[in-house]
C-alpha cells in the first residue's frame, strides 16, 4: 500500500498547480478506475500543511558560514553554534509560519516583534536563544548589504 504522502505527491504531479484537477488514488501508486476526486478545500488544507513543513531559511548556507566564522558569544563554542542557530531559526520559522528572509528580518524592531509574538508559546530562555539567532541573521544580512 502506498503512503498518503506518496499518493499525494503523485496526485500533485498529475495536477500541477490546478487544485481542481487533483485526484487521489486510494491504496495505489497509480491511477485506477476507482479514483476519487476530492474537494478543492481538502487539497488546499493539505498543501498548506506541506508548505508549513517546508518553511525555510533564505541564505541558509551563508548564515551557517557566518555563524561559523564569527562565533556567537563567549559562552558558545564556535564549532557547535552553527547547527544550534540554524535550528533556532527553523523553529522560529515554524512558529510564525513564515520563511526567515532578509525581508522578514531587516531591523532590530523585526526581531523584537517576532520575539513578542512567541511569548507564552515558548519559555523565556528559548525565546532568548531565538532572538540571538535572529540578531545574528540580521547582522549577516546587514554585512552583506554593506559589502555590495
- pLDDT band with cut points at 50, 70 and 90 for residue 29: very low
CA distance 76 to 8: 43
- 66 and 49 in a common domain: no
- 107 and 36 in a common domain: no
Residue 61: count of CB within 10 angstroms of its CB: 9
pLDDT in tens, 33-70: 444 454 455 545 555 444 444 568 999 999 999 998 88
Give the model's pLDDT for residue 59: 92
- 48 and 14 in a common domain: yes
CA distance 131 to 134: 5
27 or 110: which leads in pLDDT: 110
CA distance 141 to 102: 6
pLDDT in tens, 70-122: 877 556 655 457 889 999 999 999 999 999 999 999 999 999 999 999 999 99
- What would the DSSP string read from start to end of 115-129? HHHHBTTB-HHHHHH
User: Would you give the DSSP letter of residue 101?
Assistant: -
| Domains identified in the chain, total number | 2
- 110 and 66 in a common domain: yes
Q: Using the predicted structure, report yes or no on whether residue 3 has a pLDDT greater than 60.
A: no
Provide mean pLDDT across the span 109-137. 96
Give the model's pLDDT for residue 148: 72
**pTM, rounded to two decimals:** 0.62
Beta-carbon-side half-sphere exposure of residue 103 (alpha carbons within 13 Å): 3
- 19 and 87 in a common domain: no
Contact (Cβ atoms closer than 8 angstroms) between residue 109 and residue 138:
no
- 40 and 98 in a common domain: no
- 71 and 139 in a common domain: yes
Q: Tell me which residue range forms the domain holding 31.
A: 4-53
- 117 and 78 in a common domain: yes
- 135 and 69 in a common domain: yes
| Boundary of a domain, candidates 53, 71, 93 | 53
CA distance 20 to 16: 10
Give the model's pLDDT for residue 145: 82
Name the burial class of residue 109, with classes exposed (0-12), middle (13-18) and buried (19+) by CB atoms within 10 angstroms of its CB.
exposed
Per the DSSP assignment, residues forming a β-bridge with 36 are 24
- 143 and 81 in a common domain: yes
- 95 and 133 in a common domain: yes
- 49 and 75 in a common domain: no
Angle at which helix 60-70 crosses helix 81-96, to 10 degrees, equals 140
Q: Which residue has the cell 563567549?
A: 74
Amino acid at each position: 500500500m502506498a503512503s498518503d504522502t506518496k499518493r499525494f505527491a503523485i496526485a500533485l504531479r498529475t495536477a500541477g498547480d490546478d487544485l481542481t484537477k487533483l485526484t487521489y488514488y486510494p491504496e495505489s501508486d497509480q491511477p485506477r478506475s476507482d479514483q476519487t476526486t476530492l474537494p478543492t478545500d481538502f487539497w488546499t488544507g493539505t498543501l498548506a500543511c506541506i508548505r508549513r513543513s517546508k518553511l525555510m531559511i533564505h541564505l541558509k548556507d551563508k548564515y551557517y558560514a557566518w555563524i561559523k566564522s564569527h562565533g556567537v558569544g563567549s559562552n558558545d563554542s564556535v564549532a557547535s553554534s552553527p547547527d544550534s542557530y540554524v535550528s533556532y531559526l527553523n523553529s522560529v520559522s515554524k512558529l510564525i509560519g513564515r520563511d526567515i528572509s532578509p525581508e522578514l528580518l531587516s531591523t532590530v524592531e523585526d526581531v523584537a516583534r517576532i520575539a513578542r509574538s512567541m511569548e507564552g508559546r515558548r519559555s523565556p530562555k528559548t525565546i532568548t536563544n531565538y532572538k540571538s539567532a535572529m540578531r545574528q541573521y540580521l547582522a549577516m544580512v546587514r554585512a552583506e548589504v554593506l559589502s555590495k
